Amino acid sequence: MNFSFLHPLRTGAALLLLIPLASTSSVTNWAERGPAKTSPIAKAPTASPLQGAKPDPAVIAQFGLYNNATLQKLIDTKGKQMTAVSDRPGDYGFTVVDSPIINAFATPDGHVYFTRGIMAYFNDEAQFAGVLGHELGHITAQHGKKQQTRGTIAGIGMILGSVLAPRVMQSVGGVAQQVVGLGMLKYSRNDENEADGLGVKYSTKIGYDASHMADFFQTLQRTEAQSGAGGIPTFLSSHPNSADRYTRVKSLAAQAKQSAGRSTFAVNRDQYLRSIEGLNYGEDPRQGFVESGVFYHPDLKFRFPIPSGWKSQNSPEQFQMAEPNGKALLVFLGAGNTSLDAAGQALAKQIGLQSANAQKTTINGFPALVFEGDQAATDQQSTPAHVLAQLIQDGQSVYAFVGLAAPASFSTYAPQFQQVAQGYARLTDASKLNRQPEHIRIKTATTATTLASALAANGIPSKRYEELAILNGMKTTDRLSKGMLYKVVGK
Ligand SMILES: [Zn+2]
């Protein structure tokens, strides 16, 4: 079990996702995967003006911002250039988020998000620009709005917010899927094809060679084939005909180049590679990582066990553990720098607990507060969850373990909820405390050689050659000419 969905857990943001998300924007995905978000209630499209210039706080809560001035400037500049030549210019926004998942997605309100994961896998600006145009295309062609009207979208709001919302608790069976899949928004083939066409059109219009966008499909397919090792989400499952898509984009690109009225098109390979020098690669263990059934947080210096066989997911706000069949959910989150009593009261209110009798106790030596109760039902459809909240005071911080299950099966899972909290401890193991993320390093071939030899010369173990070949958009046997740039990863 090795998910790429482990996101940073940070202090401070505390209870945000416990509140059902009010936003109704849905998220559209590059390659139909990754987070999708909407209100649990399907709403008719509104005539409200586009709000896309600012990133959605709910998306940032889920992923975190990736603070990299170079990449943010690149996406802003190219995004604005493309917006100006698009079919529906508007005040759109562009943001790089801190996730190792290879993904890009757009909200219909006009914001495009690229993960640092996808930025690591592009090999030139033309690939980047093609995907940017594709996502912008979903916005300008208003695909997300159609989706929203059809009411078919599941959302990242469900990850916890709506799960705790009584109305969605009825679908506790869907929790595990949310945790693992983050809710996939599927576009129709037509929408997807249209967005591909717009990606070609917009990237060509601002001067790029759009055929490179098709090449990036191959990178995605290869990451999928490798996903057993890397846990990269499926691309092919939602694109059974991606070979067709590759051919189609290649031919659209050729046509676009012919009618563009110019003879040279930018690729900017070296420029792009230099812009991702130092980019974080893979999970950032500083923000929490799972190893052998234990969650470690080096920056916050704590650890606790994960119930055996459960799925887990880290995000800036919380760490979630789900029973494999979605019958129970245990969420760990920061509950503020306050007293246990105050934190407990705030938490009970946020969860909507009725008749919660809080008891002071100690858990593994830490001052603690525990309460249990039923969520208040707010409409007829709901099946409120039974909840066990265990709050632990660790120095200045209060952390909460919130366990949820249907009332009928709650007693089955309560002991596991308790065992996890009992296993909460300070992290003192230096090998965990000092864990560092890997980074992309751009190297120059000092002589004509194969990619595999170049990787070997940089001390990359042979078991990672294929992974690195995919990252470079090459085969291990491909030749590098003297002076050519290529990627390796290292601390
Ligand atoms: Zn798409």
Burial of 450 (0-12, 13-18, 19+ CB in 10 A): middle
- Residue 170 has what pLDDT? 28
What integer pLDDT is reported at residue 9 of this predicted model? Answer: 32
Question: How far apart are the CA of 36 and the centre of ligand 1, in A?
Answer: 12
User: What's the CA-to-centroid distance between 38 and ligand 1, angstroms?
Assistant: 17
Q: Are strands 294-297 and 289-291 parallel, antiparallel or unpaired?
A: antiparallel
Q: Is the pLDDT of residue 42 over 70?
A: no
Query: What is the pLDDT, as a whole number, of residue 186?
Result: 61
Q: How far is the CA of 392 from the centre of ligand 1 (A)?
A: 43
Distance (angstroms) between ligand 1 centre and the Cα of 107 equals: 11
pLDDT of the residue at 430: 97
Ligand 1 centroid – CA 131 distance (Å): 9
| Distance of CA 195 from the midpoint of ligand 1 (Å) | 6
Helices (H), 104-188: 116-121, 125-140, 143-150, 161-164, 166-169, 175-181
* d(CA 30, ligand 1 centre) in Å: 4
pTM above threshold 0.85: no
Calculate how far, in angstroms, residue 191's C-alpha sits from the geometric centre of ligand 1.
7
**All structural domains of the chain with their residue ranges:** 16-278, 285-433, 438-490
Residue 47 has pLDDT above 60, yes or no: no
53-104 confidence digits (pLDDT tens)? 888 887 787 788 999 999 999 999 999 999 999 999 999 999 999 988 888 8
For the domain 285-433, what is the CATH code? 3.40.1000.10
Report how far ligand 1's centroid is from the alpha carbon of 105 (Å): 8
Let me know: does 42 contact 151? Beta carbons within 8 Å: yes
Q: pLDDT category, 165, cuts 50, 70, 90?
A: very low
* Distance from Cα 138 to the centre of ligand 1, integer Å: 7
CA-to-CA distance for 192 and 135, rounded, in angstroms? 10
CA of 128 to the centre of ligand 1 (A): 14
pLDDT digits (tens, 9 = 90+) for 244-294: 888 999 999 999 999 998 889 999 999 999 999 999 999 899 999 999 999
